Amino acid sequence: MSKSEDLKLLGGWFSPFALRVQIALNLKGLEYEVVEETLNPKSDLLLKSNPVHKKIPVFFHGDKVICESAIIVEYIDEAWTNVPSILPQNAYDRANARFWFAYIDEKWFTSLRSVLVAEDDEAKKPHFEQAEEGLERLEEVFNKYSEGKAYFGGDSIGFIDIGFGSFLSWMRVIEEMSGRKLLDEKKHPGLTQWAETFAADPAVKGILPETDKLVEFAKILQLKWTAAAAAAAK
């Protein structure tokens, strides 16, 4: 890895959004420091460096501070132009990659998160169905954009791969906690193979959170959400 710059990531082992930044940095072969943010309470560094959203990840490139995972990944791709390129070179393809990245965050992940927040199986059902519908759509997107290659981005991990792949561990958490399969080999053969290839890629291998550890973290989150909802109802 190259150690030409002072690079630091303020993130959290549990955060799919911080994971995106790590994958992008690994793809570019860059050396960087990871600073773990506990969020309980939020550190002075986080509050000072991201005063608007007060969220991780935050990326430090020397004295430059960049927030929001999608923006950080694009910044890394533009600041270090060495191969592989994360976003497509063609303007139309870049626009499509950004569209599906936003779809994953704004629509699909919202369904996934709602499964965790819902109180019982009946409440989870519509959100689970929405998440499944989203996977069917992403299966179609993968088959179209990969053109028979390993990734959404072709021969190497690209923008959509990073956006979707960052949630692989959380998908496994949902499956473990609900006893219901999300990524199904029969329904999503392309995505199933893609997930294995993605997880084994040198830029990703070893940094995906362990499912068991993430399940315990998810249970703590559920308790916090339940308590917050009860307090709001009073």
106 with 187, same domain: the answer is yes
DSSP string, 132-194: HHHHHHHHHHHHHHHTTSSBTTBSS--HHHHHHHTTHHHHHHHHHHHT--SS-TTT-HHHHHH
36 with 65, same domain: the answer is yes
Provide the 10 A C-beta neighbour count for residue 217: 15
Tell me the average pLDDT across 86-94.
96
11 with 73, same domain: the answer is yes
User: Are residues 208 and 19 in contact, defined by beta-carbon separation less than 8 angstroms?
Assistant: yes
pLDDT of amino acid 1: 46
pLDDT of amino acid 66: 98
99 with 183, same domain: the answer is yes
Residue 147 has pLDDT above 60, yes or no: yes
Check: pTM over 0.75? Answer yes or no.
yes
What is the share, in percent, of the chain residues with pLDDT greater than 70? 97
Tell me the average pLDDT across 34-46.
94
- Range(s) of the domain holding residue 196: 91-214
38 with 97, same domain: the answer is no
Domain-located, residue 163: yes
Residue 208 has pLDDT above 50, yes or no: yes
| Total domains in the fold of the chain | 2
Q: What is the rounded average pLDDT for all residues in the chain? A: 94
Domain-located, residue 124: yes
Tell me the average pLDDT across 99-124.
93
Tokens of 175: 């499956």
140 with 184, same domain: the answer is yes
Residue 62: left (phi > 0), alpha (psi -120 to 50), or beta?
left
Domain-located, residue 231: no
203 with 99, same domain: the answer is yes
Domain-located, residue 219: no
98 with 171, same domain: the answer is yes
Tokens of 89: 């070179």
Domain-located, residue 208: yes
Tell me the average pLDDT across 178-206.
96
CATH number of the domain encompassing residue 10: 3.40.30.10
End position of a domain, from candidates 22, 55, 79: 79
Residue 210 has pLDDT above 80, yes or no: yes
Residue 152, CB-side half-sphere exposure with 13 Å CA sphere: 27
Residue 4 has pLDDT above 60, yes or no: no
74 with 109, same domain: the answer is no
- What sign results for the dihedral spanned by CA atoms 218, 151, 25, 86? negative
Lowest mean pLDDT among 9-13, 116-120, 130-134: 116-120
pLDDT band at residue 230, thresholds of 50, 70 and 90?
Answer: low
98 with 166, same domain: the answer is yes
pLDDT: is 117 or 21 the higher one?
21
pLDDT: is 216 or 229 the higher one?
216
CATH number of the domain encompassing residue 132: 1.20.1050.10
Burial class of residue 227, CB neighbours in 10 A (0-12, 13-18, 19+): exposed
Summarised one tens digit per residue, pLDDT across range 153-178 is 999 999 999 999 999 999 999 999 99
Domain-located, residue 143: yes
pLDDT of amino acid 226: 74
Rounded Cα distance between 158 and 149, Å, is 12
Residue 2 has pLDDT above 50, yes or no: no
104 with 150, same domain: the answer is yes
46 with 122, same domain: the answer is no
Tokens of 155: 């021969």
pLDDT band at residue 199, thresholds of 50, 70 and 90?
Answer: very high
pLDDT of amino acid 184: 94
Which of 102, 194, 186 lies closest to 147 in space, CA to CA? 194
Q: Show the CA angle centred on residue 70, arms to residues 169 and 96, nearest 5°.
A: 100
Domain-located, residue 118: yes
Q: What is the largest CA-CA distance in the chain?
A: 55
